[in-house]
Every structure is written in structure tokens, then in C-alpha cells.
Structure 1
Amino acid sequence: MVRSSFAAVAVLALMSHAVGAVPTVAERAPARFSFANWVEEIIANPDGALSPEEAVVAFYATANNTLSPEHERRDGLQKRARCYEQPNTDAYLPDAVACINQIASRGGANCPDYALCVIGHAAITADGAHTSSCNDCARGAGFVLDACTRPGSQFVEGSEYAYGNGNELIRVRAPG
């Protein structure tokens, strides 16, 4: 009898602990969508990643949620995109997302073109030493979108260096 009572108490203790471990509403709230993380998903699994259209919807669905402090590169250095450097050169966000998708889908090959992508009302260009992979250029553009797209806005403009290359500046802006 003592053994069965002890077992029952142990099970109840475990159950009460498990019930207390249920995440709160705040813990279950979605984090803000990250274009930089989306680029990583494209690189890792192109067929399983969100489409550009789905990525834009995910961004707007979570745009008012807070984002973790500055995005950090894998080497621990912080990325600090420069936003809205050139007046009246804002790119249309859905077109910029489609460009990033196009660049990331090129893979790890060197991306030597100055005009990496132009779609609709968005252009992604590279200034400086053209020695980065297309994946790293897409990563830089993803950081620009994360840092420079304002909640509720359909436009973005800014620049950041290609991931791992401080000599190749990636710009997201309107074509022209």
C-alpha cells in the first residue's frame, strides 16, 4: 500500500510540474519574422523555404512583435545596416524579397555582377570587391530588410556588407 501511495504521489508531482511548464501566451507569441533567417532557410533547403510571397506575409503578420537585439553574424560581430541613405530611392518590399530569393537560389557560386538583381521596383546591387558568394550577398540583403523595413511600410532602402566580406557593400534600393 505504501509503495502504491508513493507512486501515486510521484505521478501527481510530475503532472503538476508538467502543468506548470505550459508556456504562457507571451511565450507562445510568434517572434518577428527575420529575412536573414529566411535566407538561411533558402540556402539550407530551397524547396522547404517560404516563397517570397509567403515571406512578405510572415513579415507583416509579425511586424509589430519585438525582435531580438541587433542581428548577430555567426562570428559574433553585430550587423548594422545603414538605412535610408539616399532620399527617394526606396525599393518596393515584395520586389526586394523576390530579388533576395533569386540571388540566394544561385547558391555558393561567386556573384560577380554589379547588378545582382532587378525585379519591378527593387534592385540589389554590389559595390566594391566582387568576391562574395551569391548566398553571402543574399544574407547581406536579408540583414538590410530586417534592419530597414519599418512595420507597416511596403518600402525599404539601405545597405550592408556581404556576409563575411567587409569590402563588398550590398545595396537594396529602387532601380535606376
Structure 2
Amino acid sequence: MVHFSLSALASILALTPVINAVAVPVEPFSFEKWIDGKISNPNGTHLTADEAYEAYMATRLDVDAGSLSKRATCNVHDKVAPAADAARAIDYLASIGNQDCKVKVTQRFSTWGNAEISGNGRGGATVPWVSKCNDIARAAGKVMDTCWRADGTVQGSEYAWGNGNIAVHVQRKGTTTVMD
């Protein structure tokens, strides 16, 4: 026969909230949501690029591996950029907000450290395709969320938010041949 003392039972019951708290899933950090927040409230309190990088690393879970949501195109070529540098380049684009980012053929929008955010215009336009730099930053944020590699690097592309005429690329600095 098993006998529990009152103090042992109290100890077991005291641990119950802790056990339940551990089971609550943590929502992974999203670079796309981080940029959306900065765009919707530029004067609000937001994470710095370094803090965003750390938040992503702390909550990095592949909870939506089976999701059918739209994903950026990820590349595994030798053009990978350090993810921390890419986060800073994206942060810069978000900081210039509603400024126009234009591209005819290829354009470098932002560089930081060994990362760059660049774009290609669809079909060799005679006049530049235009998106707000915020929308370029949102697309780059989706690349960060989707294409982050286990070694802390990232490379990929996504169309500018709301504009299928500009393909936005996150890659290693110096790998874009700018023709515009």
C-alpha cells in the first residue's frame, strides 16, 4: 500500500502549474511581422536588428513545416549571407519607410556587413518598377522567416509585397551584378 504524506502531496500539486506552463508553445519570432510592426507604428518601441536576430534564434521552431502558406524561394548556392547582417540590411530598408525603391533590371537596395538586399525588375522595363522600401523590407522579412539555414546564414527571394514585378533577393554582398 502506498502512503503519501500531506507535505509530499502538496509538493506534487505545487509542481502542477510549472508542468502545465512548460507545455505552452512559444510562437516563433517572425521577421515579416517585426517589419510590419515597424511600418505600421514607426515611432513605437521595436526590437533592434540585433534583438530581432536574438529573438529569432531563441524561438526558432519549425512549427509550420506542413503549412500551405505562401513561402519565399530559398536558394542553397554559394551566395548565402550572414543572417545577422541581413537583419540589419532589412531594418535599414524599413527605416526609410515610404521612400520609393526603384528598379529597371537589377538594383541593390541595402547592404550591411556581408549581406545585401537587391531586386530584379520583371521583363526589362523601359521605366523603373517602383515599390515602397517598406514593401521590399516585408519581402526580405519573408525570406528571413522561410530561408534561414542552420548555420546562421540565409539566401532566397520573394516578390515585393503587393508588387509581382520586383523580385527581392537576400544574399551575400557583392553577388548582384547591378545593371540599372
The TM-score by the shorter chain falls in which range? 0.7 to 0.9
Partner amino acid for 1:88?
A: D
Query: Which of 78, 91, 96 is equivalent to 2:81?
Result: 91
Report the Cα distance in structure 2 between the residues aligned to 1:70 and 1:40, rounded to whole angstroms: 21
Report SS of the residue matched to 1:112: strand
- Say which structure is richer in strand: 2
Q: Shift in Å at residue 63 of structure 1?
A: 0.7
Query: Which of 27, 37, 43 is equivalent to 2:33?
Result: 37
Q: Shift in Å at residue 68 of structure 1?
A: 7.8
Decide whether aligned partners of structure 1 residues 50 and 67 sit closer, same or farther in structure 2, where only a CA change above 3 A counts: farther
Matches within 5 A, 1:38-117: 38-46=34-42, 47-64=44-61, 66-67=63-64, 70=67, 78-84=69-75, 87-112=77-102, 114-117=107-110
Identity across matched positions, percent:
38
Report SS of the residue matched to 1:108: coil
Q: Shift in Å at residue 24 of structure 1?
A: 5.3
Decide whether aligned partners of structure 1 residues 154 and 124 sit closer, same or farther in structure 2, where only a CA change above 3 A counts: same
Moved more, 127-136 or 139-148: 127-136
Report the Cα distance in structure 2 between the residues aligned to 1:62 and 1:80, rounded to whole angstroms: 19
Report the Cα distance in structure 2 between the residues aligned to 1:173 and 1:126, rounded to whole angstroms: 11
Decide whether the 8 Å contact of 1:92 with 1:154 is kept in 2: yes
For 1:171, the equivalent position in structure 2 comes to 169
Moved more, 109-118 or 34-43: 109-118
Report the Cα distance in structure 1 between the residues aligned to 2:67 and 2:165, rounded to whole angstroms: 21
Report the Cα distance in structure 2 between the residues aligned to 1:68 and 1:44, rounded to whole angstroms: 28
Partner amino acid for 1:131?
A: V
For 1:26, the equivalent position in structure 2 comes to 23
Decide whether aligned partners of structure 1 residues 112 and 70 sit closer, same or farther in structure 2, where only a CA change above 3 A counts: farther
Report SS of the residue matched to 2:110: strand
TM-score by length of 1: 0.75
TM-score by length of 2: 0.73
Decide whether the 8 Å contact of 1:31 with 1:67 is kept in 2: no
For 1:124, the equivalent position in structure 2 comes to 117
Partner amino acid for 2:71?
A: R
The number of residue pairs the alignment matches comes to 145
* Runs of 5+ consecutive residues of structure 1 not aligned to the other structure: 1-22, 72-77
Decide whether the 8 Å contact of 1:141 with 1:172 is kept in 2: yes
